Chains A and B, each alone.
Chain A
C-alpha cells in the first residue's frame, strides 16, 4: 500500500467510535521489544541495524493482520511524509530523525503500527477511538504473541522484557489515553485535578497560566512505570485514574452549563466566528478554538454529523498535513497560517450554521458517567 493512500484516509481511531469518545479521544498501547543477543539500535553498527530490520520487517509483514500493509524504510520517506506520520503519532520524533536501518509498517486502518529500530528494535502500538485500553492491549498482545513464534525477544527471568532505556524494562508497555478537557481548563481546575489524581506514576503536560498553553485542551494520561506489575494491573490502575478525570470533566461541564451558560455560549460563538472569518491563524490558536467547537458538538449546538469534520481539523491543520499533496517547496509560517485559515473556513462552510442562541436542554447528557473498573 502507498503512503499517499494512508495519508488520504483518516485513521480508524479518529473516524471510529468507542466508549466515552466525546472526552476520551483515543486509547493506545505500545510494547517495546528487542531481539536477543543483538545490540540495541542506538549502539549497533549500521550493518547490525540493517540485519535486525530485515528480520523484524519480514516477520511483521507476514502477520495475517498486516495484509495490505504500508511498509517503508525511513530513508525512503521525504521529510514532509515523516512529519505527517509524526503528527498522527504513528512514528515518533526520534524515529523520524533516524536514517539507515529503520522502517515503519502499519495496517491500512492505521490501528496497528510498528516502528523498527527506533530506540528499541521493535515498538508496536495499537490505537482505537474512545476509552478501551483493555481491548487495545488485547489487540497488540495478540500481535506480540504471534511475533514471538518467529522472533526471539530479549527476556530476563527477573526483569522481564529488556529495553534500551531502563524506564521501559519489564512489560515494555506504555498505555495512554488522549483526553479532551475544556471544562476543566475553563473552570481552572485542571492543574488541581491532575495533581490530585496522579498519585500513580503518570505524567501530564501541565499548563501555564489560564490554559493558554494547552494545545486544544488535549491531555495525555499514561503509565510511567513498567516493572513490578502485570500489564492488566497497570491498565486497571490507569483506567481508575482516567475514570476520575472523566468524571471531573463531566461535572465541570455540567457546572459551567448551570452557572456560566452565557460564558460558555459566548466562547463557542466567538470561536466559530473567528474560525469562519480568519484569514491567518496559527496552529495553536486554531487548536484552542477548535476545542470550543468540539465542545459545541458535544452540547449538540452543531449537528452530530459534524463531529468527524471537526475532529479531522485537529489533525488537518497541523503544519505537515496542511502541505501534504502540495508539491511546492517547504512553506513559510505565514503562508501556512493563511492556508490553515482557508482550510478551516472551507470546512466550516460545509457545516450547517449552529444555533448558538439558547442553552441546549439536554446539555452534555449523551455521555454516561464512567464506572471506573470496567468502562
Chain B
C-alpha cells in the first residue's frame, strides 16, 4: 500500500478517525508522517491532513475570484495551504467554510470560553441578531405593530452597545479603522 501524500513510498503509519460514525483513513510513509507532524502530540489533526489531500476544495462553494477585503486572501490560496489569511476570512468565505466546519466539528456554534471583555457584548449581539430576524419576519407578515416594538428594542440594545463598547468586536467590521487597505490588494506569500 502506498503513502497517500507522496504516493511513492510504502505506507507504514495508518491513521483512522471516526467522527459521528463516519470513518476517515489516511496511510502514510514514515517520512511523510514525520513531515506532517503525526508524532506531535498537540499539533496534529487528521482533518488538517485531509485538508491537504483535497478536502480544501470545499471552499469553492463561494463565487469564484472572491478575495478577502481585509487581507487579500483567495480561494486558490486556501486550496494550496489549507490555512486562512486573517480572521476576517472566516466571514469572507463563510459559505464554503460552513460545509467544511460541519464535517470537521461537532457543531457550528462555539459554546466554550469567551474573553471576559466580550462576554456582555456577545450576549447582546446574539440577542440583536435574533431580534433582527424576528423583525424581518414581522415586516414580511405585515405585522407592523409588532415590527415597531421590535425596532424599538433593537435601537435600545444598539445604543447600549455603542455606549458600552466603542470598538466593534465583530470580525466583519475589522476593516474599519485598521491599517489594512480596504481595496483588495493581492499579497505575495512571504
Contact = CB atoms under 8 A, between A and B. Distances in A.
Interface of A: 28-30, 34, 36-40, 42-46, 49, 89, 92-94, 119, 123, 125, 141, 144-145, 148, 153-162, 164-171, 173-174, 176, 178, 194-195, 198-199, 201-208, 213, 215, 220, 222, 224-231, 233
Interface string B176-190: 001010000001011
A243 B180 CA distance: 49
Interface residues of B, number: 67
Contacts of A92: 37, 40, 42-43
Contact of A203 (B12, B44, B114): B44
B21 to A, nearest CB: 8
Contacts of A125: 42
A184 to B, nearest CB: 16
B113 A171 contact: yes
B71 interface: yes
B105 A226 contact: yes
Given A37-B180, A158-B110, A203 B45 contact: yes
8 contacts: A30-B43, A36-B174, A94-B37, A155-B114, A162-B171, A171-B113, A173-B112, A176-B42
Interface of B: 12-19, 21, 33-35, 37-48, 51, 70-71, 73, 77, 81-87, 90, 97, 100-101, 104-118, 122, 125-126, 169-171, 174, 178, 180, 187, 189-190
B169 A155 contact: yes
B85 A43 contact: yes
Given A166-B100, A198-B16, A228 B37 contact: no
A165 B48 contact: yes
A28 B42 contact: yes
Q: Main SS of the interface on chain B?
A: loop
B14 A206 contact: yes
B42 A89 contact: yes
Q: Kindly name the residue among B38, B46, B86, B97 whose own CB sees the greatest number of chain A CB atoms within 10 A.
A: B86
B104 A40 contact: no
Contacts of A45: 187, 190
Contacts of B40: 89, 92-93
Nearest to A206: B14
Contact of B106 (A155, A199, A227): A227
B85 A224 contact: no
A158 B73 CA distance: 22
Given A203-B16, A222-B42, A166 B87 contact: no
B46 A203 contact: yes
Contact of A204 (B16, B19, B37, B83): B16
Contacts of A220: 39, 41, 44
B101 A160 contact: no
Given A156-B90, A206-B14, A213-B12, A201 B106 contact: yes
Contacts of A229: 106-107, 111-112
A145 B85 contact: no
A174 B45 contact: yes
Tell me which of A153, A157, A233 has the highest count of chain B C-beta atoms within 10 A of its own C-beta.
Answer: A157
B42 to A, nearest CB: 4
B112 A171 contact: yes
Contacts of B86: 37-40, 43
Contacts of B71: 39, 43
Given A125-B42, A157-B122, A203-B16, A227 B108 contact: yes
B110 A156 contact: yes
Instruction: Name the residue among A46, A167, A168 with the largest chain B CB count within 10 angstroms.
Output: A167
Nearest to B19: A201
Contacts of A144: 113
Contact of B116 (A43, A123, A148, A161): A148
B185 to A, nearest CB: 12
A178 B18 contact: no
Given A43-B187, A45-B190, 10 more contacts: A40-B86, A141-B113, A148-B116, A159-B101, A159-B108, A159-B110, A166-B97, A174-B45, A220-B39, A229-B107
